[in-house]
Amino acid sequence: MRRFRSAKGAVSVYLIIIIVPIFLFTTVFIDFARVKASELETEQALRAGIRSVMSAYHPELQQWGLFGLGKDSEEAKEIFNQVLIENLKTATGTDIFNYLDTELVTDSAKLTPMYMLSNHTVFERQVLEEMKYRAPIEFALEITDKLQQPATTAIFQSGTKFSSNASSLEKLIDKREDALDDAWSRSEDFKVQIEESYNSMNEKMNHLKDLISKIGSETEASLLIQLASLQSELNSLKSGDKDESEEAQKDRKEEKARLEQEIARVKQILDWIAEYYRIVAQMKVEAEMRYRLLLSIQKDVDDYIQKAKKYNDEIVVELERLREESGSSDLPEVNDVFNHVKIRDQAYLSGFQSGLASVTSLFAGFRNQISAVEMHLNANFDPLIEANDAYLSQNQSFYSQQSVLETQRQQENDNIKGQKKERRNAIKSILAQAKKTLMSSCTVGNEEANKNVYTKLEGDGKNKQTGLYNKYLALNQIDAAGDLATSYDFDDADRSTSSAMGLLDALTDMLISARDKLYLNEYALTKYNYRTLGLEQKPNGEIKQERTLNDPSGHTLYNQEAEYLIYGFSSCEANLTSAYGEMFAIRFAIRTIEELMDPKNEMLNIGSPLLVLLVAAAEGAVKAYSDMDDLIKGKAVPISSKIKSSLLSFTYKDYLRLFLFIHSNDKKLMSRMQSLIELNTGIDLANVSTYMEGSATTSTSLWFTSGLLKILQLTGSSQCTVSGNRCEMTKSFAITY
């Protein structure tokens, strides 16, 4: 107890109690600091290794503005391991103290490539990065500012509006005139029936009168009595005594001859009476048949006239609307044609119907009189003859008046149709020339080479899936159905004019604010070639220089890549033809609108909006063809000669920019872009990664606290795994281009 209570050694014990925790804390802190430093060193080495791997990108793809790993997995892993080891290597020497001894655990380094350039999301992101500065400037300068000029949009909108209004109104006019033509055609059938009926009835009635004069006052009954009496007498004579004297026989023979003659006369009269009754019966049947036929024709005419009235009313309503709109139109002169459109007045239309109805009514009276004719020989046919003359006279009166109106109307329509045909032929002639020009669009002598290139892109005719384009569609799980654009129609004047105006209308309504589409489209015209690459000129005539690393002029698909991207046809001719056709359509529409701004008064006075449009289109087609000659030579053509500023002009490339918007389909466009990149570089984008994740396990020695860290490891508080007197840690890092 004395020892226990003794104060000797208290200071030592106190110091031990104080110093030992401090020492333990210091040792733990030293190892903890070394582990943290080793962890940081591992992360830095790991980053350096992955960055070194990613620095080995494809130089060919970099020219396209794309970045992807240019090494295979073994080469990439070798670079990764080498850089890791070099960054973890500890300096050696007798005079150097190494605070850290971080070592790479054997075979622990791993690389995982991800997100290939064949993936549309990855591909698009890189394209957007490449084009985010250049594309907005190019598009704003070349397209947006020009199309947004008030004069440009106002003229285009007014022109396409007039084209639409003219076509729709002309359809109503044609329907009305066709209905009137049908009504008049049936009226001529009606006239034929009336004349045939009159001639037939008149002939029969004259014949009846002749029969009555022959029959006289005899009746059928009295004639039959006479015939019986005469026949009896004749029979008595035939059975007379054969031993009569010669003179008696002579008298008997004479009497017999007289009786036979009288019998023949009676029979003849009876035949005339029978014929009389037969003709009367025929007249009644024919009158009923003719009446029903005339009613049917009249109904047809009434139906056609009702249609004409309906279309006429619609024309009136439409003209009222167009007159109200014309006040705000930028083409007031050409809209004057709507004031000259023919309106068929109600008096004309009603007169058409009532004229035929009056004839039918008179014929009905004639039919009723025939039905009431008594079946005797003393019938008076004079009222019937008068009734027959009446409906014929009424029909002649109606027809003579109406034929003047119809002849005038049809002559006016024939004149309009003739002029339309003339203009359509003029348009077709220009379209034929344009189509002929297209046949020589592709490079002469390279037909077989082009065919082979397109086979690589699109596959052969039997197996489309072998093509590069379909490969990238399949990798992105995109259906190729409904893939191709429609070629421009060079064969029909009306459809060509209509589709040209429709295309121009689509351009004026284009959404210029679609950023991602804009970047993709500009990428297509920056990295790929097109028909006039190397031909486009500055205003001073100097050839424009293309500034792009991948030199599109040397690509495999010569001067047609952008057209292929837009249309996707499997031949040079089809793609260049489509681009030429749509370009011609826009120029055709613009030139037509220019002609509409200065219409010819004599055409306006005819009152056919479609004719006015066709006249303008015929002139516009000639100028459009001339514009196309300049465009495919690389020259810039003014958007419109009616726009004051001469700076507002488009080149072939500018029009391709517009077509990329019109035929926008980003997924299929990117698949074609990818297939062309593989075609030109030979690099399969499905094997080119753009994202790399790396991991490695390193270890560092523990100087003091391996046992303590094992306890911390069991509790989950340690960031490393203790193996012997070393602490192992696994780190990962990822990076993308």
240's tokens: 């007379």
For residue 7, the tally of other CB atoms under 10 A from its CB is 6
DSSP state of 607: T
668 and 700 share one domain: no
400 and 502 share one domain: no
Domain assignment present for 151: no
More confident residue, 510 or 342: 342
The structural domain count of the chain equals: 3
| Antiparallel, parallel or unpaired: β 689-701 and 103-104 | antiparallel
Question: Is the distance from CB of 685 to CB of 117 less than 8 angstroms?
Answer: yes
Question: Is the distance from CB of 287 to CB of 237 less than 8 angstroms?
Answer: no
Q: What is the mean pLDDT of residues 166-193?
A: 95
φ, ψ of residue 184 in degrees (nearest 5): -70, -35
Looking at 396, 424, 452, which one is the last position of a domain?
424
CA distance 137 to 688: 31
Per-residue pLDDT band at 464 (split at 50, 70, 90): low
725 and 596 share one domain: no
pLDDT at 627 (0 to 100):
94
Q: What is the mean pLDDT of residues 121-127?
A: 92
247's tokens: 């003179």
Q: What's the one-letter identity of residue 36?
A: K
pLDDT for residue 574 is more than 50: yes
72 and 203 share one domain: no
CA distance 228 to 215: 19
CA distance 517 to 527: 15
Lowest-pLDDT choice from 116-120, 450-454, 501-505: 501-505
712 and 603 share one domain: no
299 and 278 share one domain: yes
Considering 262-276, 399-413, 576-590, the range whose residues carry the highest mean pLDDT is 399-413
Domain assignment present for 526: yes
201 and 103 share one domain: no
Per-residue pLDDT band at 512 (split at 50, 70, 90): very low
pLDDT at 561 (0 to 100):
93
Residues in the chain, total: 737
pLDDT for residue 446 is more than 70: no
CA nearest 550: which of 66, 139, 52, 112?
A: 66
414 Cβ contact partners less than 8 Å away, ≥ 6 residues apart? none
Lowest-pLDDT choice from 80-89, 151-160, 255-264, 667-676: 151-160
pLDDT over 70 percentage in the chain:
83
CA distance 593 to 642: 9
Domain assignment present for 253: yes
CA distance 256 to 238: 8
43 and 84 share one domain: yes
Q: In which domain, by residue range, is 612 found?
A: 439-681
pLDDT for residue 147 is more than 60: no
Q: Report helix, strand and coil shares of the chain as percent, to nearest 5.
A: 70, 5, 25
Q: Encode pLDDT of 60-117 as tens digits.
A: 999 999 999 988 888 999 999 999 888 887 644 445 556 678 888 888 889 999 899 9
Lowest-pLDDT choice from 130-139, 453-462, 503-512, 726-735: 503-512
Per-residue pLDDT band at 11 (split at 50, 70, 90): low
φ, ψ of residue 664 in degrees (nearest 5): -65, 120
Q: What is the mean pLDDT of residues 560-586?
A: 90
Question: Is the distance from CB of 562 to CB of 576 less than 8 angstroms?
Answer: no
Domain assignment present for 122: no
419 and 490 share one domain: no
639 and 722 share one domain: no
CA distance 180 to 187: 10
φ, ψ of residue 585 in degrees (nearest 5): -60, -40
42 Cβ contact partners less than 8 Å away, ≥ 6 residues apart? 88, 102, 696, 698, 729, 731
602's tokens: 């004599």
pLDDT for residue 582 is more than 50: yes
529 and 606 share one domain: yes
Q: What's the one-letter identity of residue 73?
A: S
CA distance 143 to 655: 9
Q: Encode pLDDT of 367-393 as tens digits.
A: 998 877 665 566 677 888 899 999 999
- Region class of 534: left (phi > 0), else alpha (psi between -120 and 50), else beta: left
Domain assignment present for 474: yes
pLDDT for residue 151 is more than 80: no
- In this prediction the pTM is 0.73
pLDDT at 404 (0 to 100):
94
CA distance 679 to 416: 56
Long-range contacts of 133-138 (CB under 8 A, 24+ apart): 134/522, 134/526, 135/518, 135/519, 135/521, 135/522, 135/523, 136/518, 138/522
Looking at 424, 458, 476, which one is the last position of a domain?
424
Domain assignment present for 67: yes
Considering the chain, what is the average pLDDT of its residues?
83
pLDDT for residue 717 is more than 50: no
Q: Encode pLDDT of 357-366 as tens digits.
A: 999 999 999 9
Kindly report the CA angle at 271 between 265 and 272, in degrees rounded to 5? 90
Looking at 424, 452, 474, which one is the last position of a domain?
424
CA nearest 110: which of 689, 697, 696?
A: 696
Helix (H) or strand (E) holding 435: helix 382-438
Domain assignment present for 146: no
Q: How far apart are the first and last CA of the chain?
A: 79
Domain assignment present for 275: yes
Per-residue pLDDT band at 249 (split at 50, 70, 90): confident
408 and 461 share one domain: no
535's tokens: 């031909």
Q: Encode pLDDT of 612-648 as tens digits.
A: 999 999 999 999 999 999 999 889 888 887 765 545 7
